[in-house]
Amino acid sequence: MLQTENMIHLRGLHKSYVTGSNSLHVLKGIDLHIAPGEFVSIMGSSGSGKSTLLNILGILDNYDQGQYTLAGNPIVKMSETKAAAFRNQLIGFVFQSFNLISFKNALENVALPLYYQKISRRKRNQMAMEYLDRMGLADWANHMPNELSGGQKQRIAIARALISKPKVILADEPTGALDTQTSYEVMDILKEVNAQGITILIVTHEHDIAAMTNRIIRLRDGVIAEDIRNGEVKKIKEMAFAAAI
């Protein structure tokens, strides 16, 4: 029931950062429902808690209060081993700074999540090659990350996020380090991925990038201030286009 309706279900989520005697209340009761196959962007001013929210969704960080259900699995306080299994099987991460392993070549980087699933080297390299091919990077399989452009690195990171066939892709400013042209290429790829039914959440500052998604969530003062869908998104897109002219 819940599973089919909600990929991500948040209710009354709170998060504070405690540093020494100071406590910073960042998320002040987030309620959010994201259905399977949605393509959502999270916006908000710097320091509004976008990354904090995404990290909690990615089970990289814990929350203080509320409920979080991911693909029907209640995400509560759990062992790091279990969390790792969820991350490996349900979630694919894409980072602003790509976060490729520097001493592994493109192919090995893409194959790495499968290594943690104990899939044989032959099998995982074969699969990694397929995903690299889908990203149009088959010829770059044996190149090291420092021999690749930012766009190529991000496409490899996307391939790595996809290889374990996750239900959700979480991307924190995936285009933040790329020029406009390359950003659009990466977004095209993400749209394709979304078209295959994978739920995607991205954090972004750029309106034109947000406009390419189907839903925009705006954070302000630790709560969701705006939640704009579909047609409305198109309107914004046109506005952005008009502004560009």
Partner 1 sequence: MFDRDRWQEIFETLKKNKMRTFFTAFGVFWGIFMLMIMLGSGEGLRKGASSGMGDMATNSMFMWTQQTTMPYKGFPRGRFYNFNNADTRAMIENIDGIEYIAPRIQGRSATGDNNVVRGERTGAFNIQGDYPAYNLIDPMNINQGRFINDNDIALNRKVAVIGQRVRNEMFNADENPIGEYIRINGVYFQIVGVASSRKRDHQAMQDNQNIYIPFTTLQKTYNYGDIVGWYSITARKGTSVADVETRAKALMRKRHNVHPDDTRAVGSFNVENEFLKMNRLFAGISGLIWIVGIGTLMAGVIGISNIMLVVIKERTKEIGIQRAIGARPWTIVSQIITESVFLTTFAGYLGLVAGVGVIELVNKALQGAGDSAGMFKDPSVSFHVAVSALVILIIAGVIAGIIPARKAVKVKPIEALRYE
Ligand X SMILES: Nc1ncnc2c1ncn2[C@@H]1O[C@H](COP(=O)(O)OP(=O)(O)OP(=O)(O)O)[C@@H](O)[C@H]1O
Interface residues toward ligand X, by CB under 6 A: 17, 19, 24, 26, 44, 46-52
Q: Rounded distance, CA 30 to CA 219, Å?
A: 9
- Structure tokens of 231? 């047609």
Q: Does residue 96 bind partner 1 (CB under 8 A)?
A: no
Q: Rounded distance, CA 7 to CA 14, Å?
A: 20
Closest among 60, 74, 78 to 10, alpha carbons compared: 74
- Show the binding pattern over residues 15-54: x = contacts Mg ion (CB under 5 A), - = does not: ------------------------------------x---
DSSP character at residue 117: T
- Partner interacting with residue 99 (select from partner 1, ligand X, Mg ion, none; CB below 5-8 Å by kind): partner 1
- Show the binding pattern over residues 33-52: x = contacts partner 1 (CB under 8 A), - = does not: --------------------
Q: What is the chain's length?
A: 245
Between 43 and 169, whose beta carbon lies closer to ligand X?
Answer: 43
CB of 87 to partner 1, least distance (A): 5
Q: Does residue 24 bind partner 1 (CB under 8 A)?
A: no
Q: Does residue 103 bind partner 1 (CB under 8 A)?
A: yes
CB of 217 to partner 1, least distance (A): 21
Q: How far is CA 244 from CA 113, 128, 182, 210, in A?
A: 40, 39, 18, 15
Q: Rounded distance, CA 79 to CA 185, Å?
A: 38
Assign 142 to helix, strand or coil: coil
Q: How far is CA 38 from CA 17, 42, 160, 168, 191, in A?
A: 30, 13, 20, 10, 10
Closest among 114, 148, 116 to 130, alpha carbons compared: 114
Within 70-89, which residues bind partner 1 (CB under 8 A)?
A: 80-81, 83-85, 87-89
CB of 50 to Mg ion, least distance (A): 5
Between 172 and 185, whose beta carbon lies closer to ligand X?
Answer: 172
CB of 86 to partner 1, least distance (A): 9
Q: Does residue 121 bind partner 1 (CB under 8 A)?
A: yes
Q: What is the separation of C-alpha 132 from the centre of its chain, rounded to a whole number of angstroms? A: 19
Kindly list the residues in this chain that would bind partner 1 in the complex (CB under 8 A). Answer: 55, 58, 60-61, 80-81, 83-85, 87-89, 93, 95, 99, 101-104, 108, 112-113, 115-117, 121, 160-161, 164
